[in-house]
Amino acid sequence: MNCFVTHLESALDATRLPADRPQTLHKDRPLWVRYDLESAGQALARSELARRPASMWRYRELLPYAQSDAVVSLGETMTPLVACPRLGPHFGLSDLWVKDESRLPTGSFKSRGLAMAVTMARQFGIQRVAIPTAGNAGGAMAAYAARAGIEAFVFMPDDTPTINQYECQLAGAKTFLVPGLITDCGKIVRQGQQRMGWFDMSTLKEPYRIEGKKTMGLELAEQFDWHLPDVILYPTGGGTGLIGMWKAFAELEQMGWLADAKRPRMVAVQSDGCAPIVRAFERGERFAEPFLGAATVASGIRVPAAVGDFMILDAVRASGGRALAVSESRIREWMELGARSEGLAICPETAACIGALEQLTREGWIKPAERVVIFNTGAAQKYPEAMACELPRIADPAKIDWDRIAAGVST
């Protein structure tokens, strides 16, 4: 199998680095993986994709691994695009879709990035990895490291959702709770690199998680028959999903695979409890200042400082998009709206996107006939704290008040 990677490139100053060895950052900033796209396009006809298995690995000419049998996989199928015939009209939209990443093996979009990162780690002979995590990334790394036979260390804030804590430990990762935020966990990973000899799998501190997340954009283009939507709303913490999709669209355009030159307006969505990207966007700045006192039930976007801040902001601005913060106090409300409208297990991060949709349609920034896609980045079931509620009770099954049953209240 041919690998069409040519080199790695600094996202900040375009310095070229070799791709035949493990790399982390250049001048403390992330790297892009670059390809010979002309040769990749000659090797793969767009029509050939339909004959390949429906998995993220079907785009192998645009991915960095060298051998198919080296892939570390738990069965990453293409995720469904679900039409929203009730949620869309609620906001006056006729063409709203949810791409449901909760169907992936570890219950979130993190499966894509960590499957790719661990695949490349194994290709380079790395035997020990570590990650700071707000939740789902740690569970994904633990699972894929177990699959690859690589020793894993996970550091997470001590108020990380319990399911994320348990899944890391269950998969055999040495898992530690840390007082503070994901940035505090990241400091521990950095401090331990020399002493422990682990490879840092932090968001954007190695170049391959982006390539895994990129497959969301490749899939979306293929599922819409190579016509991209008008708007994408994406919950934004570390930003690899949004950055990866924007990279995918650029590569597809360069290869001539897109049906037209239009790219989506990208909306980076955060909670007002942690909105460093939004603040930088509103101030016209390229780099974001750390967000002090970060607090949100949407743990995946509780990232007070992102090493790829400028990459997120560059993509949003180049697309003509927005960075928007929504009210933390309404996230549970929007989770319920999404789930009750369409039956989808909407995670709190995606609920924030529903809140952004509410604002942007009210402002008229999103038009009624535009095609809009929201990414459901994880399964609601992974957030028991966000789902917690008091259920009505039947005190005596022999004396049921059916009017109260119909009203959904205790009897």
Query: pLDDT per residue over 225-280, tens digit each?
Result: 999 999 999 999 999 999 999 999 999 999 999 998 899 999 999 999 999 999 99
Grouping H, G, I as helix, E, B as strand and the rest as coil, residue 248 is: helix
Neighbours of 391 (CB within 10 A): 6
**C-alpha torsion angle, residues 120, 161, 296, 95 (rounded to 10):** 70
3-state DSSP assignment of residue 96? strand
The per-residue pLDDT for 1 is 63
The whole-angstrom separation of Cα 131 and Cα 100 is 25
pLDDT the model gives residue 69:
85
**Distance in angstroms (rounded) separating the CA atoms of residues 144 and 115:** 6
Phi, psi of 31 (to 5 degrees): -120, 145
Contact 333, 387 (CB under 8 A): no
Indicate the CATH number for domain 81-105+208-387.
Answer: 3.40.50.1100
Indicate the domain borders of the chain.
81-105+208-387
Question: Which residue type does 271 have?
Answer: S
Residue owning tokens 């909407």: 346
> CA–CA separation, 231 vs 244, rounded Å?
16
Helices 240-255 + 309-318 axis angle, to 10? 50
Q: For a pLDDT cut of 90, what percent of the chain falls above it? A: 95
Residue 280 · residue 288 · CB < 8 Å? yes
Question: What pLDDT score does 385 carry?
Answer: 87
Cβ contact 326:355 at 8 Å: yes
The residue ranges of the chain whose pLDDT is under 50 are none
| Residue 262 DSSP one-character state | -
The amino acid at residue 10 is S
Report how far apart, in Å, the C-alpha atoms of 16 and of each of 11, 40, 309 are. Answer: 10, 20, 21
Tell me if 266 sits within 8 A of 242, measured CB to CB: yes
Q: DSSP assignment, residue 207? A: S
